[in-house]
Chain A
Amino acid sequence: KNEVEQSPQNLTAQEGEFITINCSYSVGISALHWLQQHPGGGIVSLFMLSSGKKKHGRLIATINIQEKHSSLHITASHPRDSAVYICAVGQGGSEKLVFGKGTKLTVNP
């Protein structure tokens, strides 16, 4: 079992829909990251959080430390949101990030 599990693996939505991507982890963490990867490789950090909730524009990230679960929400989705969204956790005592496999989101116009 991977230390970081994401669901769903693939998600197709219509423009304007509310999107939720889930991440569960099985290890103690110092922080959880949500990242966006576009075709071609580049990865952009969206959020880093260790508790509660963060919001940036149409993106909202929440984390429940007790349940070891985080969600990334996209409101009013747009075709330009189409990308792979990756959850990664930083573990206490190590500087490395452990990544989920990613969720491929396609938003159709």
Chain B
Amino acid sequence: DTGVSQNPRHKITKRGQNVTFRCDPISEHNRLYWYRQTLGQGPEFLTYFQNEAQLEKSRLLSDRFSAERPKGSFSTLEIQRTEQGDSAMYLCASDRGAGNTIYFGEGSWLTVV
């Protein structure tokens, strides 16, 4: 148990539907990250929060993707109008700041059919 909790763990959705994933980081961690991983590849950075502020976003994060961390605790990642290319595992991670160990959640698997 890494302490970072993600849900749902698995989601199958039809193309065009919206999906939302939730991440609960370790409680004292002020930094939270979202990554995306496809089969056979390493994770790719999507976005990063320090407390409630979204400080960095990847070009991978198209306008169909939005992430929030409203109170600096849990975070949500929403994908609107899903496409088959969105099928991947969405990983959340958190840490206490630079130089500290990063902790990953188990990931949320998305399949768009």
Contacts and interface: CB of A to CB of B under 8 A. Distances in A.
Contacts of A48: 99, 101-102
Contacts of A44: 2, 104
Contact of A100 (B33, B42, B91, B101): B42
Interface residues of B, number: 29
A30 interface: yes
Interface string A70-86: 00000000000000001
A97 B107 CA distance: 17
Nearest to B100: A48
Given A86-B42, A88-B42, A96 B107 contact: no
Contact of B106 (A42, A90, A98, A102): A42
Interface stretch (B19-27, B43-51, B67-75, B79-87): B43-51
Contacts of B93: 43
Nearest to A94: B56
Contacts of A30: 98
Interface residues of A, number: 24
A31 B99 contact: yes
A43 B37 CA distance: 11
A100 B58 CA distance: 17
Contacts of A45: 101-104
Nearest to A97: B45
B26 to A, nearest CB: 13
B42 A41 contact: no
Interface in B1-35: 2, 31, 33, 35
Interface of A: 4, 30-31, 33, 35, 40-45, 48, 86, 88, 90, 94-102
Given A88-B43, A97-B33, 13 more contacts: A42-B106, A42-B107, A43-B43, A44-B104, A48-B101, A90-B98, A94-B56, A95-B31, A97-B43, A97-B45, A98-B45, A99-B42, A102-B42
